[in-house]
Structure 1
Amino acid sequence: MQPPLVSVEIKINGLIRTQTIEPRTTLIDFLRDHLGLTGTHAGCEHGVCGACSVLLDGDPVRSCCMFAVQANGMSVTTVEGLAPQRGCLSKIQDAFCETHALQCGYCTPGMLIACHALVDKTPQPDEAQIRDAIGGNLCRCTGYQQIVDAVKLATTPGYQIKEASATATRKMAKTVIPGDSND
């Protein structure tokens, strides 16, 4: 016997999305399987690694540990929604490319979510605040220093994305803005 279906209405990356789903559908499965937003990665599926992080009303949450119905009526931002417009990079995404803060790319979406949440609340964080913000996200490749450097660079007063830099890093941006087809 199929469980009863429920309707959810969630603002995702600025667009209101209404779907009928099983109540047991996790937020990550809703994003990836129902909406095709595959930038949010399913890692441990136990809330430990942080790869599945999204912003829920501006705060980072583990999308593998919550049901989509829990986000009903709320706003969710995925890694695809961090850039100011499609085909562009946010300052933090650009700085990740500039400082080589991404390698295999698996942790990158969750790291970007954590960094954006921090910078939204603390526009010029110090190193301890950055390390605290990313402390719940696991990365096996970078050793974290490049990620810290990226946030420092992105929050440096006057930091601007250079057009040449934006063009040169567009190929790498597939990791930073998964699902974007505007090359």
Structure 2
Amino acid sequence: MYGYLLRNRVIFIGSRINDETATQIVACLLALETLSDSEDIKLYINSPGGQAYSVISILDTIEAIKPDVVTIALGQCASTATLLLAAGAKGKRFSMPNARIMMHQPAGGAMGSADEVNIQASELNRTMKVVHRFYERFTGLPLDRIEEETDRDNFMNPKQAMELGLIDDVIVSADLPTLATAHA
């Protein structure tokens, strides 16, 4: 099945994103660019998110490759997966009508000595700034608004996500096959 999807320039994320899944996604993006740098790549996202720097490796790749990446949220698109959704090419960021989208601050589980916990807290704050810069760039919202929107678990429907600039349009199931093959 995944071979068929890749031949049609479709990547599906259906799990938590860690280093292993990020490496696979990056490899797929790079391979698809090699096959054609002018055809869109479609990235379907149904994920609770995952490790921030694993997702950042995918974001950096999306920004580095030539093909436009079309992003489509379905089911759950939460936490760092929302960054991937917003990273799609402008005008090509979509959500299914019943998807649930959530953004929030990065979280960590610091353990160890007081010094180690302080180091981890500093790194978490740095990671939060990186995440906020990505949201600023992808949505056009000012930093203070990004901070306000991510200061808690912020669940939203696709219409609210569109108002925040995370997506460009909501699609219905009947449009999905057209979208999936429109750029193949």
Q: TM-score category by the smaller chain?
A: 0.3 to 0.5
Give the TM-score normalised by structure 2. 0.36
Higher relative helix content: 2
Give the TM-score normalised by structure 1. 0.36
Higher relative strand content: 2
